[in-house]
Amino acid sequence: MAKIIGLTGGIATGKSTVAGFFKDANIPVIETDQIAKSVLAKGSDVFQRVVEHFGDAILLSEGTINRKALGEIIFQDEDARAWLNAQVHPEVRSIARTQADLLKKEGHALIVVDVPLLFEAKFDKDVDETLVISVPKEIQLERLMTRDHISKAYAMKKIQSQMPLKEKRKKATYVIDNRGSILHTKKQFNEILSTIQGA
Ligand SMILES: Nc1ncnc2c1ncn2[C@@H]1O[C@H](COP(=O)(O)OP(=O)(O)OP(=O)(O)O)[C@@H](O)[C@H]1O
Ligand SMILES: [Mg+2]
């Protein structure tokens, strides 16, 4: 029986960084961020609904969705965010399930799915165990502002739109504290991977 690990955390806490460690260990990672992008690709059903709902103003000149503009709308407006999530999440979930089934058939014993809103979207029901990547809020804020070149106010809005990390840690099977060096995070990862694999 394959085991599915749900990898989550807060925005910019280090999920993709840890996803990279899994990939380095030849463990497949399903990236729901990538799936969400494909679900919103020009011409898709969700794309049509989103353009109808938000108008042409969220399109770039080449006719694809301006993700930055869409982000600015949904992080200021809770109803808009809930509406968009209701369009995107079921599709993403269904594609992620199909990908997981395929990987299971290929014989992978361990499959990781990186889902930023794992608990918020109740996606944790689809996985066997959960791994939360956590950092203190000040570090999260700083890394998010630096990586995305955004203001403190906007970064705070993004962080506050998510379930507090403290709650996510409580729900988690495993927690990695990513406040320190990458090496320190890798050490925690190695220990958890041994536990997950029952070694
Ligand atoms: N231990 C660390 N020390 C310093 N910087 C780090 C560390 N871990 C991650 N970072 C940096 O923090 C930023 C966020 O990391 P990463 O992209 O892995 O987070 P994420 O949780 O996948 O973000 P998102 O929610 O946007 O998908 C990146 O710029 C990354 O290089
Ligand atoms: Mg990421």
pLDDT-based confidence at residue 1 (cuts at 50, 70, 90): confident
> Any residues with CB less than 8 A from the CB of 74 and at least 6 apart, and which?
80, 81, 84
185 CB near ligand 1 (under 6 Å):
yes
Is there a contact between 153 and 110 (Cβ–Cβ < 8 Å)? no
What is the phi/psi pair of residue 150, to 5°? -120, 165
Give phi and psi for 113, each to the nearest 5: -125, 120
Query: Stretch 153-166: mean pLDDT, rounded?
Result: 96
Mean pLDDT on 41-69: 95
* Cβ pair 2, 111 in contact under 8 A: yes
Mean pLDDT confidence for 181-197: 97
Ligand 1 atom nearest the C-alpha of 9 is 21
- At 10-20, the pLDDT tens digits run 999 999 999 99
- Which atom of ligand 1 lies closest to the CA of 18? 18
Mean pLDDT of 154-172: 96
Q: What residues make up the domain containing 47?
A: 3-196
Q: What's the gap in Å between 124 CA and the centre of ligand 2?
A: 17
Q: Does residue 17 line the site of ligand 1, with CB under 6 A?
A: yes
CA-wise closest residue to 128 among 1, 2, 4:
4
Total domain count for the chain?
1
Question: 177: which 2 tokens?
Answer: 């504290």
Residue 48 has pLDDT above 70, yes or no: yes
CATH number at residue 37: 3.40.50.300
For the chain, give the mean pLDDT: 96
Using CA atoms, how far apart are residues 84 and 94, in angstroms rounded to an integer? 16
- Work out the average pLDDT over 162-176: 98
CA dist 47 to 52, 149, 152, 156, 177, Å?
9, 27, 30, 28, 37
Instruction: Locate the ligand 1 atom nearest the alpha carbon of residue 178 and give its number.
Output: 1
CA–centroid distance, 11 to ligand 2, in Å, is: 8
C-alpha 132 – ligand 1 centre gap (Å): 13
Mean pLDDT of 74-84: 94
Task: Provide the pLDDT for residue 86.
Answer: 96
Per-residue pLDDT of 100-127, as tens digits, reads 999 999 999 999 999 999 999 999 999 9
Residue 199: pLDDT band with limits 50, 70, 90:
low
Establish how many alpha carbons lie within 13 A of residue 45's alpha carbon, considering only the half-sphere containing its beta carbon.
Answer: 5
| CA–CA gap between residue 197 and residue 194 (Å, rounded) | 5
Residues 6+ apart with CB under 8 A from 28: 22, 103, 108, 111, 112
